[in-house]
Amino acid sequence: MSRKRLTQIFPFLLPLRRWQRKNFFYFQMWKDGNRYAKKIADKSLPYMVFETSIRMLNENSGFDMQYQINKVHNLKLAARTLNRVVIEPGETFSFWQLVRRADREEKYKDGLNLVDGKIVASYGGGLCMLSDTLFWMFLHTPLTIVERHGHAVKSFPSTAEDIPCGTDATVGEGWLDLKVRNETDHTFQIEINFDDSDMHGRILSERVVGLSYCVFNSSVSYRKQGQKIYQIAPVCRRETDSGSGWQTERALYVNQCEIAYRLSDEIKIEEGGTQNG
């Protein structure tokens, strides 16, 4: 049995711990020497690098759909702070540097979050759909991933069935961030827009990048360890030079997470082994 944290034993200490973590979190970024992207451009940059869309409401969550509606509200608030932000050469994008004060004028609503391995309704829940979308877009650019954290538990099926497994990115203010650094000589821009059902994301550039990317799983397997089932998904990327057609391919990372919903009977689940492979 894992050892309980102090805030689990004494829950009344949790607000103080969160305050402490958030202040330390931003103090570290203040002194780390990075130049963080903050400029919001009036106009869109002219060249498309990558675009994607994701359906926002998930009818398979098993929870009251009001939480899904609240999530959409939260996504729109957070997106206002980073829509049209530019990432210039030498700059670092941080999710929380931009989103930290998204609820200053209009408050978040209760959405679904994973807390201590359980799905619960909490203030500002659902923002991981935004960080998931951003990370998926970043994987299709030459931006360097500085910090990314996968979800430890996948609690219900994704609404984006065409996106490879393990390309998500969870965030938690004070603990987990999503960061990319622009080590190129291009300027990039993020755009996030919404229609009635979908969130749309685009990465733009001030000039042609000349590269395209294909992100895929080399394999996906499922392993039972004790009473839990884990998904193991190697994530790979193929890079193509638009001029010469020259391709390079490499493995990026192996994502592993617990699957907490019922899988299809057609999926093969391996027995035994260890959680770490």
pLDDT surpasses 60 at 273: no
- pLDDT averaged over every residue in the chain: 91
Query: Got the DSSP string for 127-165?
Result: THHHHHHHHHHHTTSSPEEEE----SEE-S--S-TTSPT
The pTM assigned to this predicted structure is 0.92
pLDDT surpasses 60 at 258: yes
pLDDT surpasses 60 at 39: yes
Contacts of 119 (CB under 8 A, 6+ apart): 61, 63, 112, 113, 155
| DSSP assigned state of 95 | H
Residue 275: its pLDDT value, please? Answer: 47
* Residue 25 binned pLDDT confidence (cut-offs 50, 70, 90): very high
Tokens of 115: 């807390």
pLDDT surpasses 70 at 1: no
Greater model confidence, 156 or 40:
40
User: Beta strand 188-194 with 198-205: parallel, antiparallel or unpaired?
Assistant: antiparallel
Residue 61: its pLDDT value, please? Answer: 73
pLDDT surpasses 90 at 78: yes
* Residue 178 binned pLDDT confidence (cut-offs 50, 70, 90): very high
Residue 114: its pLDDT value, please? Answer: 76
Residue 233: its pLDDT value, please? Answer: 97
pLDDT surpasses 90 at 62: no
* Residue 239 binned pLDDT confidence (cut-offs 50, 70, 90): very high
- In tens, the pLDDT along 81-123 reads 999 999 999 999 999 999 999 999 999 999 988 776 678 888 9
pLDDT surpasses 70 at 243: yes
CA-CA distance, 6 to 31, in Å (whole number)?
28
If you count DSSP H runs as helices and E runs as strands, how many of each does the chain have, helices first? 5, 16
CA-CA distance, 138 to 202, in Å (whole number)?
10
Cβ proximity of 150 and 165 under 8 Å: no
pLDDT surpasses 60 at 277: no
Residue 11: its pLDDT value, please? Answer: 66
Tokens of 159: 């609404």
Greater model confidence, 4 or 257:
257
Greater model confidence, 138 or 155:
138
Residue 58: its pLDDT value, please? Answer: 84
Q: Is 171 helix (H, G, I), strand (E, B) or coil?
A: coil
Residue 237: its pLDDT value, please? Answer: 98
Least confident of 11-15, 59-63, 201-205: 11-15
pLDDT surpasses 60 at 135: yes
pLDDT surpasses 70 at 276: no
User: Mean pLDDT, to the nearest integer, of 180-205?
Assistant: 98
Burial of 127 (0-12, 13-18, 19+ CB in 10 A): buried
- In tens, the pLDDT along 143-161 reads 999 999 999 999 888 777 7
